[in-house]
Amino acid sequence: MRFSITDIIQSYAQGYFLMAEDNGDLNWYSSRQRALIPLDHRFRYPKSLQRVLNQGRFRMTVNQDFRGVVQGCADREVTWISQELQEIYYQLHEAGWAYSFEAWQGDQLAGGILGLVLGGAFIGESMFFKIPDGSKVALVTLVNRLRSGGFLLFDAQMNNPHLERFGAYLIGDREYHTLLRKALQHHCVLKV
């Protein structure tokens, strides 16, 4: 592996993230704006999703099928999660930095979220679904876990209309780095 776990964690702690180019080359990126998922009253979701949550159609787990979540996130026509990046995620998981949040319907993996935990920051890398609402239920469950664990920051990296439905918003680079530094100083535990 070209990147050591220590170097990867230090780079994420400075606000960088890894992505693969179309040709598969892995590079570090940063952004002038970051998308955050709010961990306060600004987090919201559609009423229709509340009905799904109330019905209990999905069983939630953490780190039960990390490889399945990574593969689900990478399984797209166009993906920035190359084979090399998948291997990096596996090593980060084994070292205790990377987590997966899984939604199950019966024995089928319905959806999930992949991310890194650094102090009081959760860096969301990707999410996917195989069954409608699977990733949405995983997101609501993840936010509740982050709240109960005392996390200060949920970095979604890039915004999109799907995340905006949950209250995601953009902040500038300077504000992001201030929040990230503050979050890194907290020791939070993500309950598995």
Tell whether the model's pLDDT for residue 100 goes beyond 90. Answer: yes
Alpha helices in the chain (DSSP H): 5-13, 47-55, 66-74, 83-94, 134-148, 161-164, 173-184
CA distance 58 to 82: 29
- What are the domain boundaries of the chain? 5-184
Residue 189's pLDDT band (cuts 50, 70, 90): confident
Q: Kindly list the distances between the CA atom of residue 167 and the CA atoms of 88, 155, 159, 187, in Å, as whole numbers in the listed order.
A: 30, 13, 10, 25
What pLDDT shows up at residue 80? 87
What pLDDT shows up at residue 142? 96
Tell whether the model's pLDDT for residue 170 goes beyond 80. Answer: yes
Torsion over CA: 192, 99, 186, 121 (sign): negative
**Do residues 191 and 149 touch, judged by C-beta distance below 8 A?**
yes
Q: Which residues contact 118 (CB under 8 A, 6 or more apart)?
A: 9, 12, 13, 97, 183, 184
* Model confidence pLDDT, tens digit, residues 117-159: 999 999 999 999 999 999 999 999 999 999 999 999 999 998 8
Overall fold of domain 5-184: Aminopeptidase (3.40.630)
* Model confidence pLDDT, tens digit, residues 51-82: 999 899 999 999 999 999 999 999 988 788 99
* Model confidence pLDDT, tens digit, residues 16-44: 999 998 888 899 999 899 999 999 999 99
Q: Kindly state the tokens that stand for 15.
A: 């606000």
Q: Kindly state the tokens that stand for 87.
A: 């291997």
What pLDDT shows up at residue 161? 86
**Do residues 155 and 36 touch, judged by C-beta distance below 8 A?**
yes
